[in-house]
Structure 1
Amino acid sequence: MKSPDTLDVAAHCARAALAMMERHKVPPHPENYAIWYAYVAGRNPDLTAAIDAILQSGKKFTAKVNDELYERFAVFPQDTAELREVGQRVEEAVGRVLEYLSNANQGTSNYGAALEDFSGKLADGPSAAGLSELISGILAETKVMADLNRQLEQRLENSSNEVARLRNHLDDLKREASTDALTQLANRKLFDHSLNLAVLDARAADAPLSLLMIDIDHFKQFNDTYGHQLGDQVLKLVARSLSEVAQAKDTAARYGGEEFAVILPATPLEKSMEVAETIRNQVSTKRLTNRRTGQVLGQVTLSIGAALLREAEAPDSLVHRADEAMYLAKRDGRNRVKSEIDLEKPTGEAAK
């Protein structure tokens, strides 16, 4: 996908983007540059709002923040082009179906006209030779109509199969666009969308909605010690545990980096704490081993924060509170679950 910017505009946006990246100590990697160029160009209101919020809060653009921005707002041209191509093929298939039906309708009209003509000539009392000729004619028209029906049936079946294949392809593209490639959990975009819907549903049904924010303890240290490949295995291990514990109504997502989230509809805070403990125990009881060397790498532990949606609360506020509870769990020693209730306790009491 080509940029619509002229050379002068592109050069201005590039200089402005690099200047802002330098000012906020954002490494000029291609991924970061793409985000900041889009921000300066001002064509994505959601991206603009997200970066403006970070700037106003004084929060630093850490590697985690930069990765989250890229996951949420980066546009992949190849995906867009493929979606456009599939959509065009669906449109063409539907167009062919309409053409087949139009031809069939014309054939039916012609056959109806032939029958009327045959009926009129019968009423005139034709001779035996004339009757034989009329019957031969109507048989020929009937054969033409039967052939047209067979062709229509075959063409409609082929078109139906093609549309079904394209629909499956679109489903695959949609799934890929909303799934984290490494963990196969929902990605950040799908998490944001699912949380917004869950909040609306909870209010409409007057039902509780809980959220878990989950972080892998000492993940950077693990990555630095054993390498990114084993780090990826840790992420997959946590993702499998979330998938096993989460129910069909829940949404387990990779929130960004080593942080995960689980949306728990129709779940009060106390129950969400039980779910969190199940996840924490399931992960901490596993021992990591380097399959190639047999070296035991130790255990993976999680710090988990839980929060319950409040009346008229925005989704971002719910995330923030669950995130704060998760960081409290880290400060309190890691490998534990804390809830928003613990945030209100004195430090000594919360640590008990």
Structure 2
Amino acid sequence: MKTSDPIDVASHCARAALGMMERHKVPPTPENFAIWYAFVAGRNPVLSDAINLILSGGGKFTQKVNEELYERFAVFGQDKAELREVGLRVEEAVGKVLEYLSNASSGTTNYGAALEHFSGRLSGAPAPDYLTDAVGAIMAETKTMVEINRQLEGNLESSSTEIVRLRNELDDLKREAATDALTQLSNRKMFDHALVMAIHNADETRSPLCLLMIDIDHFKQFNDTYGHPLGDQILKLVGRSLTDIVKVKDTAARYGGEEFAVILPETDLEAALQVAETIRGQVAAKRVTNRRTGQVLGQVTLSAGAARYVPGEDPESLVSRADQTLYLAKKDGRNRVKSEVDLAVAAKTSEGQ
């Protein structure tokens, strides 16, 4: 999520982050600074846990550790070269601002020294001609200082505009890096990150958490029969349906191929099943049409499985259980929703046979 700290808060966090980086011998690169700023600001509880674990264990922040922290908490599969280039441009723009401030400080120092010098000379009851020369020199120095400040104002305004533009460009890159290009849903990397965060929040707040795994029925048949362009059309259709139905606090993602996932924080299993049924019903109500010919090609159906988070389990276990319920829905005829309750019933039935 994009955040904007007040200038005093941002300055405090930036100084604290740089101080900690220096103490722990972390190179002050833009990537490392982004991680430590987020750590100091308390922006990401999972990041805080990861760094605190290293600190408490006496670990060192080697280049590999720093890269792993950045990969895990700041990058979601984006083109690193492109992001690095923008990061360097931001660094360059900030450097220019610091240079302008340094020049202004130097100019102010020179001006102050000149005033002090002339003041000392005037205190000795100078002759009128000398007084005129001294005042003229002060006026000349004053004009120089005014010009320096005018240039500084222009340079700072230009640099501020460039930094805002680069910040927006970085935001766009991060958004693209976390998004599946075809469906505009979160991609797999973003899903993995969001699930870790959702589990952490569920543990912290002791609130329910559920996961839906959803698969398009007979998708390969559509692709083989009508071609990949139609397959892409179906994927987009499902993506739009998920976007329309899930809430802001939820995360809908393209998990891979024709499989989708929905993370439902603060949602119990019964409510999760209702969400899954709404998604299944909305997609099933649509008819796929060949846009070129207008021919109606048929109905798209979904199979879905729902699992609830068990406190203390890892993300892989939750995904595995949701996947098992999805496979049960397919096994029982597709175009339906199953939960881990159905999974338990199926297991008992199998044992009794």
TM-score, with normalisation over the residues of structure 2? 0.75
Identity fraction in percent: 66
Alpha carbons of structure 1 residues 347 and 309: separation in structure 2 relative to 1, 3 Å: closer
In 1, Cα distance between equivalents of 2:144 and 2:158: 21
* Residue equivalent to 1:338: 338
Alpha carbons of structure 1 residues 106 and 295: separation in structure 2 relative to 1, 3 Å: same
User: Over aligned residues, Cα RMSD in angstroms?
Assistant: 2.1
In 2, Cα distance between equivalents of 1:302 and 1:348: 26
Q: Measure how far apart 1:346 and its partner are.
A: 3.7
* Residue equivalent to 1:238: 238
Which segment is superposed worse, 336-345 or 89-98? 89-98
Point out where structure 2 has 5 or more consecutive residues left out of the alignment. 1-63, 66-75
In 1, Cα distance between equivalents of 2:239 and 2:163: 34
Q: Measure how far apart 1:163 and its partner are.
A: 1.5
Alpha carbons of structure 1 residues 193 and 349: separation in structure 2 relative to 1, 3 Å: same
In 2, Cα distance between equivalents of 1:139 and 1:246: 68
* Residue equivalent to 1:318: 318
> For 1:116-170, what per-residue CA distance to the aligned partner results, in whole angstroms no more than 9, with x for missing partners?
1222223222233332222221111111111111111111111111122221222
In 2, Cα distance between equivalents of 1:347 and 1:195: 27
> For 1:213-253, what per-residue CA distance to the aligned partner results, in whole angstroms no more than 9, with x for missing partners?
00001100111111100110000000000011111111110
* Residue equivalent to 2:42: none
Residue 135 in structure 1 maps to residue 135 in structure 2? yes
Q: Which amino acid aligns with 1:328?
A: L
Q: Which amino acid aligns with 1:236?
A: K
* Residue equivalent to 1:304: 304
In 2, Cα distance between equivalents of 1:164 and 1:336: 48
Which segment is superposed worse, 88-97 or 142-151? 88-97
Matches within 5 A, 1:194-205: 194-205=194-205
Residue 288 in structure 1 maps to residue 272 in structure 2? no
In 2, Cα distance between equivalents of 1:263 and 1:232: 23
Q: Measure how far apart 1:349 and its partner are.
A: 8.1
Q: Measure how far apart 1:347 and its partner are.
A: 7.3
> For 1:182-210, what per-residue CA distance to the aligned partner results, in whole angstroms no more than 9, with x for missing partners?
11111111111110111111101111111
In 1, Cα distance between equivalents of 2:328 and 2:141: 83
* Residue equivalent to 1:4: none
What SS is found at the alignment partner of 1:345? helix
Q: Which amino acid aligns with 1:219?
A: F
Residue 82 in structure 1 maps to residue 71 in structure 2? no
Q: Give the number of equivalent residue pairs.
A: 277
In 1, Cα distance between equivalents of 2:252 and 2:296: 28
Alpha carbons of structure 1 residues 198 and 348: separation in structure 2 relative to 1, 3 Å: closer
> For 1:268-312, what per-residue CA distance to the aligned partner results, in whole angstroms no more than 9, with x for missing partners?
111111111111111111111112111111111110101100021
Alpha carbons of structure 1 residues 333 and 216: separation in structure 2 relative to 1, 3 Å: same
Matches within 5 A, 1:1-352: 79-346=79-346
What SS is found at the alignment partner of 1:344? helix
In 1, Cα distance between equivalents of 2:347 and 2:330: 13
TM-score, with normalisation over the residues of structure 1? 0.75
Which segment is superposed worse, 84-93 or 147-156? 84-93
What SS is found at the alignment partner of 2:345? coil
Point out where structure 1 has 5 or more consecutive residues left out of the alignment. 1-43, 46-73
Q: Measure how far apart 1:254 and its partner are.
A: 0.2
2:77 touches 2:178 (CA, 8 Å); kept in 1? Answer: no
In 1, Cα distance between equivalents of 2:257 and 2:230: 14
